[in-house]
Chain A
Amino acid sequence: MIGKLLSADFLKIKRKGFLFLTFLGPFGVVALQMVNYGVRKDYLLQQSDDDWGYYLSNISSFIPLAIVLGIVILTSLMASVEDETNAWKQLISLPVSKMSAYLSKFTVLAVLLFFSSVLLMVFTLAYGLYLNLGDQLPYVELLKNSFYPYFAAIPILALQLWIAMVSQNQGIPITTGILGVIFTYSAFVLPDWMIWKWPSLMNEWNEPIINVMLGIGVGIILYIAGMMDFTRRDVK
């Protein structure tokens, strides 16, 4: 059943700009470094002996913002596909469980964001190679840099999807989303337990993997809570 729902959901997001946004996020992040390195490459290369590492840290400073912003826009857009003509009543009148309908929406977004992360890795590597940052390619760091923030951001995805799915008014998820973006922007001063800090991979132990584990664990909990709440409610 979930396979059928997924292929229907991928059909429904056609011509809605989902793929464009999926591309725009990682491209934007790398494009900012294109400007940065394009303007003052010599200065930046002087800043550190590890040119690749320094380049990756520059890239990573914009990843959390891009991911959180992307999540807010995509979740709301996803809900609006069904909200626009109140197609929820049509979807749920089909022989599908509400749980799988919710899971399908979540999966589509998770897949799109994962695809974004893959693109981020490709763009990062490509521009890094173009800059000629040295022969020692830090593959492991590159993978971590591209995918750790994705896993750490799953709780935000689960939360925003929940709010977007059950809100009659998309103003509500947009509001919480903007707050989330502000939180993410100020990740440096946030306490470790705030989920908006996690995509920045900062914590007091300096172990990014903790954020990934927390992201997956809390993400699953928030996902289940959202799905239960969605199932319990009468269809809009």
Chain B
Amino acid sequence: MEYVVQTENLSKRFGKEDAVVGLDMKIKKGEIYGFLGPNGAGKTTTIRMLLGLMKSTSGTIQIFQKDLKKERISILQRVGSLVENPSYYPHLTAYENLEALRKILGVPKTRIHEVLETVRLSDVADKKVKGYSLGMKQRLGIAAALLNNPDLLILDEPTNGLDPSGIIEIRNLIKRLPAETGMTILISSHLLTEIDQMATTVGIVTKGKMIFQDSIDALRMYAQQKVLLKVSDSEQAWRSLLGKGIKSEWHDGIISLAEHSNEKVAKAVHCLVQDGFSIYRVEEEKRSLEDIFLQMTMEEKVR
């Protein structure tokens, strides 16, 4: 499989503090890779290393199958990025801001109008960025990242400071890009709901370590529901279920079934009824991705 981004054992240490530890990140072409983690988990540090803004303490980074250390400039030619808060020159207009970048990137001037159109800033292109709202500045940052028609787009918390309609707009844009241009997107966030709605693959990082990296569907598997039974005389009911070889747990007077296919649930209910227990409730407990994310990051803290 060809990976657009591949890091091996990537680590970064600030003095005595480990910001990123042995991170292996793999991003396939055309993916929207959601990079998740609580604040201070090492997301931005990783992204800064991917862009060559920081040198890694150890490990290798390959982008487009090229070594970042050796071919940084030719790699960055094909990368667009927005790191943390958007950077801009407040005394210049949006057009001039993009022009300053365009001169370095060497793309045609028409590209400026195109990206301004994409983020819907064309009307205010000749106003100084000083007077922009945070959301407009954020959109300008995204425009700047798109300027060179990148093959890899790296966005660090791109929906920060946007209002709900702005968030939806950016989300739609991000979803559209890989389909239209074959772009690969790395997007970081501390909000799972955000990633959940866009990403095809998820990497979860906490305390500088990658604790999960797989497709979003695999993550949803963790979100599988449990079936809870509320019955009369629950402890005895639980024992009788165990006696019949049905895996279950008993907790606070509630029985939870480990297996929850329709047949298994029906069988358990059937057994209980046969044994004369009254069944008050059969309910499904859904764990949100949010819960899984919290649990995953909490587990890491306990260790």
Contacts and interface: CB of A to CB of B under 8 A. Distances in A.
* A and B: bona fide binding partners: yes
Given A14-B92, A14-B96, A81-B89, A93 B81 contact: yes
Contact of B54 (A8, A90, A235): A235
Given A81-B89, A85-B87, A85-B90, A93 B104 contact: no
B92 A4 contact: no
Interface string A60-94: 00000000000000000000010011111110111
A175 B295 CA distance: 50
A5 interface: yes
Contact of B91 (A15, A94, A95): A15
B70 interface: no
A200 to B, nearest CB: 35
Contacts of B100: 8, 11-12
A90 B104 contact: no
15 contacts: A4-B106, A11-B100, A84-B89, A85-B85, A85-B87, A86-B85, A88-B87, A89-B48, A89-B83, A93-B76, A93-B79, A95-B74, A95-B77, A97-B72, A234-B53
Interface residues of B, number: 33
A87 B76 contact: no
Nearest to A101: B104
B83 A87 contact: no
A221 interface: no
Interface of A: 4-5, 7-8, 11-12, 14-16, 81, 84-90, 92-97, 234-235
B51 A93 contact: yes
Contacts of B168: none
Contact of B103 (A4, A15, A81, A87): A4
Given A14-B92, A16-B91, A93 B101 contact: no
Nearest to B12: A234
A90 B105 CA distance: 12
Nearest to B106: A4
A104 B133 CA distance: 31
Interface in B37-58: 48, 51-55
Interface of B: 48, 51-55, 72-77, 79, 81, 83-92, 96, 99-101, 103-106, 144
Q: Could you say which of A4, A12, A81, A94 has the most chain B C-beta atoms within 10 Å of its C-beta?
A: A94
Contacts of A89: 48, 51, 53, 83-84, 87
B84 A12 contact: no
Given A4-B103, A96-B73, A11 B92 contact: yes
Contacts of A90: 81, 83, 87, 101, 144
B91 A14 contact: yes
A95 B76 CA distance: 5
Contacts of A86: 84-85, 87
B89 A8 contact: no
Contacts of B89: 12, 81, 84-85, 87
Contacts of A81: 89
A94 B104 contact: yes
Query: What 3 pairs between A and B have smallest CB-CB spacing?
Result: A87-B87, A90-B87, A95-B76
Nearest to A232: B55
A161 B149 CA distance: 34
A93 B78 CA distance: 11
